[in-house]
Chains A and B, each alone.
Chain A
Amino acid sequence: MAEKIKIAIVGGGTAGWMTAAALASLATERICELVLVESEAIGTVGVGEATIPAIKEFNDLLGIPEQDFMQYTRATFKLGIEFCGWGPENTSYIHPFGTFGEPISGSDFHQQWMRFAHSPQTQPLEAYCLAAQMCRQNRFEFPGREGDTHSSFAYAYHFDAGLYARYLRRHAEDKGVQRTEGRITEVRRNKDTGDIEAVILESGAQISADYFIDCSGFRSLLLGQSLGVGYESWQHWLPCDRAIAMPSGRNPMQPPFTRAIAKAAGWQWQIPLQHRTGNGLVFQSALLSDDEAAASLRRSLNAPKTATPRVIRFEAGKRACSWHKNCIAIGLAAGFLEPLESTSIYLIQSAIAHFLSLLPGKTAPPPLVREFNRQVDLEYERARDFIILHYHLNARDDSELWRYCRSMDIPGSLRARIEAFRKRGYIEQYRFGLFAPPSWLSVMMGQGLMPEHIDTLACSVEGVRAQHALESQLAMAQQTLNSMRSSSEFIGNYCAAATMEEFS
């Protein structure tokens, strides 16, 4: 057995405890000695209360029992996001965690739908998508086996990110992670190599390690501040720079989706949990003051406010690289994308996964570091493009923000995807990173971007056959939907959290 690798995790928010729990479970204490330093005095951002289906893989890998986790974190199920007011006026669409329909004779389902869109039997595209209909009707059941309609979707969760971090902390500490309380006052670096040798706490205690994982959040204490790795700003594509969060009472319907409502200066989220609803407004500070934002958010909430608003300042972008010297940044210390598509926790998870797959010995060879950075950059850029897509394709005219986003110069990678869809409904599937074609389809069509042409190959599929396939997909989705319970009933039976009294 080789000498143990010592890893110090700096910061104990969602990123810190996810990293600690994953390394403790999957790298184990026989390989790694894990220390996590956090300070109670420093708050956590906990931006991600909504997740995407990949989170289930993470929990499963760690052996986390779903019911237990959902009870503890007061979680609900999530099958997608409803976007209100982003596209044509008074419209909303669902970005579902599911497909719209199977390919028909080798051509994409949506091509055949486009082909017969004018036929009186053809319903709006969303009607064919089981996951979207489950959102519309507040239903939930687990996905079925491969092959049946049940398998056309996946699910994620809404949960209390603070409770999730606490849950993972218990898991990590059980597996041998040492937690140290304290504020870091100094980062000591090796004069020759530039590597971080130790972090020094206010108490004078020193923590040395082979690797330092920077989960310090926006401050990017190690990677940004100490190692001086620069920040690549994406604000020219994502101008919102502030968020204000404010919880409200629980929604008894327990809808299985997040809501993202476009507003003049940004957009508002609604995340249903078992015990409360998470709300927030992401906005551009040039258009709205914090007080105005708070007032606007309060006005819009149906339930009375149960906590004071919290303001978060940010700048979209990422560090030039996530791994430099012996320091790896994960989470907000590595980059920030607004929570529009619930990518924050996914980006933490994917960085952990790439790190685990490349887990080095006592020293990391350069090609390994290069590969990690290549993977992480790709993940951020693909998630970024998808978020920009929503802003760019907006149909609003109530502020400069929306007009700017519509006409701004977007990344070439995104422009090419939009043009390919605009012209002929072409959506390329890539192998690495987010998101899959049904996600792109739902947003582009949902925001009113209709292809100018139908794919030539799709037109050579026999029409009768294609129409029949459309009809049977619709019938299957309806039938399956009708057999499902309501999401509130499902959650009540499956994973109801203990009452508030028991909790506190």
Chain B
Amino acid sequence: MSSPDIATSGSCVPIRSIAIVGRDADAWISALLLQLSLGASKNPIKITLVELPSRLAPGEVYPTLPSQQALHQLLGLDQKELLNSCGGLPSLGYRYSGWGGAGTEFFQPYDTAGAAMNGVAFIHYWARARQRGLAAALEEFSLCAASAKRGKYFSAEIDRENFSRGQAACNLPAIQYLKAIGRLALDSGVQHRAAELASVNLQQHQRSRENGCSIQSLHLNNGESITADLFIDASGDGELISHLEQRDTQNFESWAHWFPCDQALIASTQAMRPLPSFNQASTFDAGWAGLYPLAARTAVCAPFSSAHTNADQVLHTLSRALGTPQQPALKPLLRGRRTNPWQGNCVAVGAAATSLDPIQGTQLHLLHTSLSYLLTLIPTGTECMQLEQEIYSDRLAEHSQRLRDFQLAHYALNRRQEAFWQQCAQTPLPDSLQHKIELFRARGHIPLQENETFQEEGWQLLFAGCGLTPIAWHPRADLMAEEEQIVAFQNMLKLIATRAARMPDLESAMSPSSTTVQD
């Protein structure tokens, strides 16, 4: 094999500058990550952030998935230190109240449930036992769920033989969190302008396979003009990339019919004591209220459907349940994805690419995913981005749709009687989700596809929590005698109870001397 002849010149001029236009988490995390990855080398790419006015409500929270820890690592952040300094808290999952009808409840931990026996996944034994009268829900076999319900946190040190593969996400108070990220970004050399877009200067380009526009420069309302080789739209709603979209094409795939909550009421209530190690999502007649514990308060985000209720009613409902919420504010919810989040030399990341429903707090995960793809696909030259554009769009579509399916299942499988909820339950589902539900019902099997965020255990716990029990199971589960299986289940529950009792509570786990949150 001989050495390759790499054309470094050619028609492509390397990317030397990237301008990010956006606001809030999408903008600051993009700026910091791009600066650390591309702006610090010998031949650095210049990273400029044009920060648009924030749209954060005063009490807003960023709920996350466990993958946030990996993003923080990439950003060089110690998660526990970060949480303590900005007043955030880790969270082991969600308690869903009322989704299966009044008085029902289920828990969705970031965890596995039960242990495989004789090479057969636990779900099959559980399905068989349930069909024969077992009362214990699937979540009772999750150590994280059990710990959370007992007011405890989770420490892998106590679960030494790894019965569970539990992980924690975290709740980040948005304003304080972004102050921390912003400081790091500025310290690491990001060029920062706080401004608004006055106009966008486009240039027509005609290439062999492509016919469209690129951004030449941005004019800001402070009179300044910004040029760059690549532009990142981190605005949340696509304020920049929309300049490149042709009006006559379908640029946005709306998911509004699946996710009828079009607004969210954002507020705060007092902190819960002792601190819960989980979030809550409780239904009301035309939406649901998410409670996200923080160190000094509880953040509230209540998505609702304005076709079925209004903000005053929602506020009234929240007040009755939680006491008067502080600093209430309304936010519109977009729900859908850009069919082509990369246009010309402009890439939409985070919510500008795909705007997800608030359920399960997946939006920052999507930002992380879009940035990971962007980093591996930074164009090799200013004039050749078609390939990168296609890969980016295709992969992001797959990730977004699998996340959407997971979120959608929460709504679609509800068993409430109100008009809003009935509508959610009756809307036809995407084939991909329909297939998952049917196969789980038929057999407890989760047909995973490429680019899934949630793995088998996440889907199983969700479906079981939503009230689905498989009607059949793997025949190999029948090789274990029922009595033997009952004993095995009892032993698992005993082990879970013992370990959960030994888990630290969240407050002591968060004390700087404890090592738990580092796990």
* A interface residues with partner B (beta carbon < 8 Å): 1-2, 5, 26-28, 30-31, 88, 91, 93, 114, 117-118, 122, 124-126, 357-361, 365-368, 370-371, 374, 416, 419-420, 423-424, 426, 428, 430-432, 445-446, 450-457, 459-463
Contacts and interface: CB of A to CB of B under 8 A. Distances in A.
Given A424-B387, A453-B8, A457-B375, 20 more contacts: A1-B478, A118-B3, A357-B474, A359-B474, A360-B475, A365-B442, A365-B443, A370-B435, A371-B435, A371-B447, A423-B380, A424-B380, A426-B377, A431-B451, A432-B450, A453-B6, A453-B7, A454-B6, A457-B37, A461-B41
Interface of B: 1-8, 10, 12, 14-15, 37-38, 40-45, 119, 375-381, 384, 387, 390-391, 435, 438-439, 442-443, 445, 447-448, 450-451, 472, 474-476, 478-479
Given A31-B475, A371-B439, A462-B42, A455 B6 contact: no
Contact of B445 (A5, A358, A446): A358
Contacts of A451: 4, 6
Which of A419, A424, A451, A456: most chain B Cβ within 10 A? A456
A422 B6 CA distance: 11
A84 to B, nearest CB: 13
A303 to B, nearest CB: 29
A126 B435 contact: no
Nearest to A107: B376
A154 to B, nearest CB: 22
A417 to B, nearest CB: 10
A457 B2 CA distance: 24
Nearest to B438: A367
Contact of B376 (A359, A426, A461): A426
A360 B43 CA distance: 59
Contact of A367 (B37, B435, B475): B435
Smallest CB-CB A-B distances: 8 pairs? A450-B4, A453-B380, A460-B41, A456-B378, A365-B442, A367-B438, A124-B1, A367-B439
B434 to A, nearest CB: 9
Contact of A31 (B8, B14, B439, B478): B478
Contacts of B12: 453
Contact of B1 (A5, A26, A91): A91
B20 to A, nearest CB: 16
A114 B445 CA distance: 43
Given A424-B380, A455-B380, A93 B1 contact: yes
A5 B443 CA distance: 16
Contacts of A93: 1
A117 B475 contact: no
A462 B439 CA distance: 49
Given A2-B478, A456-B38, A457-B37, A122 B375 contact: no
B387 A423 contact: yes
A121 to B, nearest CB: 12
Contacts of B387: 419-420, 423-424
Nearest to A116: B3
B95 to A, nearest CB: 30
Nearest to A91: B1
Nearest to B74: A106
A459 B6 contact: no
27 contacts: A2-B475, A26-B119, A93-B1, A114-B4, A124-B1, A358-B445, A361-B472, A361-B475, A367-B438, A368-B439, A371-B447, A416-B391, A423-B387, A426-B377, A445-B4, A451-B4, A452-B7, A452-B380, A453-B6, A453-B7, A454-B380, A455-B380, A456-B14, A459-B41, A460-B37, A460-B44, A460-B45
A85 B12 CA distance: 33
Contacts of A1: 478
Contacts of B5: 450
B208 to A, nearest CB: 13
A5 B380 contact: no
A365 B445 CA distance: 12
Contacts of B479: 28, 30-31
B391 A426 contact: yes
A454 to B, nearest CB: 6
